[in-house]
């Protein structure tokens, strides 16, 4: 565990590993946009690589922590959130960022997503949403639109897709945003806000997959609902946020890409704060006890 809080100027390049491998994502893949935004955000919030842990699931997105210089944990499919929760509870000083694809997070790990949001664990979760399973060659995923044709659904998907923003809000996330790989500046700013938010911060990150989802939109042009004069809602108002999310999720399936910060609740305590309030969790990081020979375990 590093000396948390060592404030100094941090260079973006510190987040680039000095060794191979360089990213093996396909040319034009949206995953590059997440990497770029993340490398831009962390120095600006004053976090060094040894203060940061990235936890990933399985998929093309899971390679993120191979290309990002920080502590890393590449978990099994759909299980990045339980590992991220445990790490944050043991060492609250770590900046924990969980990441995975839409299949990993909304399908295989959907149960963890719902309950991590409900419990409001204090870390950032970035979902690379390309509306298919990319690594395994383009199968239908939980966010594939109804009618989407793939090898697993050759006559078109008969299923309604998951609506990630609405699911996140109703599950209890206290920060919900959507951005797109084609908009790295907005992505960087949203990641910074998510990191600085106390509680579960979920970013649905639209990442085009030009290799297996050729017919899908490239998520351009995008509209920032917080900036556009065409949209007027208050992200601190739950009802207005819910309505804006519903409109955004409908619009995406009509080819209109709406992005932005949809919901933020700054008042709700995180899971850890709740546990401390009821006396079930100490103020000091649990991890420190493991390194304290004088600590007397009960």
Q: How far is the CB of 23 from ligand SF4 (least distance, A)?
A: 9
Using the minimum distance from each CB to ligand SF4, give the nearer residue, 149 or 234.
149
Number of residues that bind ligand SF4 (CB under 6 A): 12
Q: How far is the CB of 101 from ligand SF4 (least distance, A)?
A: 8
Pairwise CA distance, residues 104 & 130, whole Å: 12
Choosing from 64, 84, 173, 209, the residue that interacts with ligand SF4 (CB under 6 A) is: 209
Count of CB atoms situated within 10 Å of the CB of 108: 20
**Which DSSP string do the residues of 96-133 spell out, in sequence order?**
EEEEEEHIIIIIITHHHHHHHHHHT-SSEEEEEE-SEE
Residue linked to tokens 């991590």: 116
26 binds ligand SF4 (CB under 6 A): yes
Helix (H, G, I), strand (E, B) or coil at 160: coil
31 binds ligand SF4 (CB under 6 A): yes
**Which DSSP string do the residues of 168-190 spell out, in sequence order?**
HHHHT-SEEEEEETT-HHHHHHH
Using the minimum distance from each CB to ligand SF4, give the nearer residue, 210 or 269.
210
Q: Tell the burial category of 48 from Cβ atoms under 10 Å away from its Cβ (0-12, 13-18, 19+).
A: buried
210 binds ligand SF4 (CB under 6 A): yes
- Among the listed ranges 48-56, 129-137, 142-150, 177-185, the one in contact with ligand SF4 (CB under 6 A) is 129-137
211 binds ligand SF4 (CB under 6 A): yes
Binding mask 54-93 for ligand SF4 (x = CB under 6 A): ------x---------------------------------
Both structure tokens of 76: 């099994």
Cα 107 to chain centroid, rounded: 15
- Among the listed ranges 41-49, 83-91, 203-211, 229-237, the one in contact with ligand SF4 (CB under 6 A) is 203-211
Using the minimum distance from each CB to ligand SF4, give the nearer residue, 141 or 183.
141
Using the minimum distance from each CB to ligand SF4, give the nearer residue, 132 or 191.
132
- Among the listed ranges 12-20, 23-31, 39-47, 147-155, the one in contact with ligand SF4 (CB under 6 A) is 23-31
- Please choose, from the candidates 209, 212, 207, the residue with its C-alpha nearest in 3D space to the C-alpha of residue 257: 207
- Among the listed ranges 35-43, 130-138, 193-201, 222-230, the one in contact with ligand SF4 (CB under 6 A) is 130-138
- Among the listed ranges 1-9, 162-170, 182-190, 204-212, the one in contact with ligand SF4 (CB under 6 A) is 204-212
164 HSE (CA, 13 A, CB side) = 35
Going from the C-alpha of 207 to that of each of 25, 101, 252, the distances in angstroms are 12, 9, 13
- Residue 151 DSSP symbol: S
Task: Give residues in contact with ligand SF4 (CB under 6 A).
Answer: 25-26, 29, 31, 60, 130, 134-135, 209-212
């Amino acid at each position: 565990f590093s000396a948390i809080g060592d404030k100094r100027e941090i260079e973006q390049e510190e987040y680039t590993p000095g060794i191979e491998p360089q990213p093996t994502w396909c040319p034009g893949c949206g995953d590059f946009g997440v990497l770029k935004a993340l490398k831009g955000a962390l120095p600006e919030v004053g976090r060094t690589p040894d203060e940061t842990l990235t936890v990933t699931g399985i998929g093309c997105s899971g390679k993120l922590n191979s290309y990002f210089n920080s502590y890393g944990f590449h978990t099994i499919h759909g299980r990045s959130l339980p590992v991220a929760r445990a790490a944050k509870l043991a060492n609250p000083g770590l900046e924990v960022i969980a990441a995975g694809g839409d299949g990993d997070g909304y399908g295989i790990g959907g149960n963890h997503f719902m309950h991590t949001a409900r419990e409001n664990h204090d870390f950032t979760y970035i979902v690379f949403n390309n509306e298919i399973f990319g690594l395994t060659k383009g199968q239908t995923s939980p966010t594939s639109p109804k009618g989407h044709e793939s090898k697993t659904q050759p006559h078109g998907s008969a299923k309604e897709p998951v609506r990630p923003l609405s699911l996140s809000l109703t599950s209890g996330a206290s920060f919900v945003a959507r951005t797109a790989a084609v908009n790295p500046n907005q992505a960087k700013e949203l990641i910074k806000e998510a990191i600085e938010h106390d509680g579960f911060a979920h970013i649905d990150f639209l990442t085009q997959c030009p290799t297996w989802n050729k017919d899908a939109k490239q998520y351009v042009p995008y509209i920032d609902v917080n900036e556009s004069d065409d949209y007027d809602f208050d992200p601190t108002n739950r009802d207005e946020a819910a309505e804006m999310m519903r409109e955004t999720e409908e619009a995406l399936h009509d080819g209109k890409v709406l992005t932005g910060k949809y919901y933020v609740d700054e008042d709700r305590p995180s899971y850890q704060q709740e546990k401390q309030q009821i006396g079930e969790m100490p103020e000091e990081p649990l991890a420190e006890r493991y390194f304290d020979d004088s600590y007397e375990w009960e």
